[in-house]
Amino acid sequence: MTDLLVRGGRCLEDARAVLFDKDGTLIDIHHYWASMIRLRTDQLVGGVDGSGQLAEGLIDAMGVDPVTGRMKPQGPVGVRPRTEIVDVVAEFLRANGIELSHREVEKRFVEVDHRTGEDLLPLLRLLPGVEELLDGLVSEGVAVVVVTTDLTHRARRALEVLGLDGRVDVVVGGDLVVAAKPSPDLAFLALRTIGLEPGRAVVVGDHPVDVQMAGAAGCGAAIGMLTGLAGPQDFVGEDCVVASDLTDLSLN
């Protein structure tokens, strides 16, 4: 029997699975998405007259502060599904006199996916404590699951590049479910895949939608991380324990 602890206090007794969000929980979300959004922006408006100001506006619309390079807590990137990001981009471009269909915007996104897929490593930075915690979970026989709004194949590729794929049992991306977080769909699919009842699972994520997904799915516990988009005030009123980073978590 393995208990999951946060700063030495028991979070869940006899934990059988931990469902991790990816960006902001395992991977530095600000570095990843700031890099991706600038590449997408260049693909969409690079070379357009006056593109400097237009590019900054598009970066901001997708959810990254063009000055600080940090993501905005409300997203939409990193929080909402990809289809909604495509909607935001198409609407922003249309408002600025550039007519691109949703299909064409998605095509440009895919082109960036292909380019970065050949060399993802510059976009990826592991957050503190990831490898140590995953190694501990694996050694104790606790299932390690990644549930993310990212595309499943992109998430798997990122984990492979970082050398984490051998430590992760299941990856469930937003393209495999109908409704994104805070809907329980991702958690339900992950738990069905490993054959586990929700009460024995812990959800770990950097945004209130992760905690809300855990509650909607009936998971045994949720941990809100301060390594991504949310601050302590964002988890006030949510049914979770808050941790600074994954070094706060341990097993007993």
Q: How many CA atoms lie within 13 A of 216 on its CB side?
A: 16
DSSP 72: P
Question: For residue 81, what pLDDT is reported?
Answer: 82
Could you give all domains of the chain from N- to C-terminal order, each with its CATH number? 4-28+125-251 (3.40.50.1000), 30-122 (no CATH)
pLDDT confidence of residue 45? 92
Please tell me the pTM assigned to this model.
0.82
pLDDT at 96: 94
Confidence at residue 51, expressed as pLDDT on a 0 to 100 scale: 66
Contact 214, 237 (CB under 8 A): no
* Helix runs in the chain, H state only: 29-45, 51-62, 82-95, 102-117, 130-139, 152-161, 185-194, 208-217
Print pLDDT tens along the chain (252 aa): 899 999 999 999 999 999 999 999 999 989 988 999 999 999 999 877 656 889 999 999 999 999 898 888 788 987 788 899 999 999 999 999 999 999 999 999 999 998 988 888 999 999 999 999 999 999 999 999 999 988 899 899 999 999 999 999 999 999 999 998 999 999 999 999 999 999 999 999 999 999 999 999 999 999 999 999 889 999 999 999 999 999 999 999
Sheet holding 9-12, edge to edge: 9-12, 4-6, 249-251
Position 225 scores a pLDDT of 98
Question: What φ, ψ does residue 11 adopt, rounded to 5°?
Answer: -95, -45
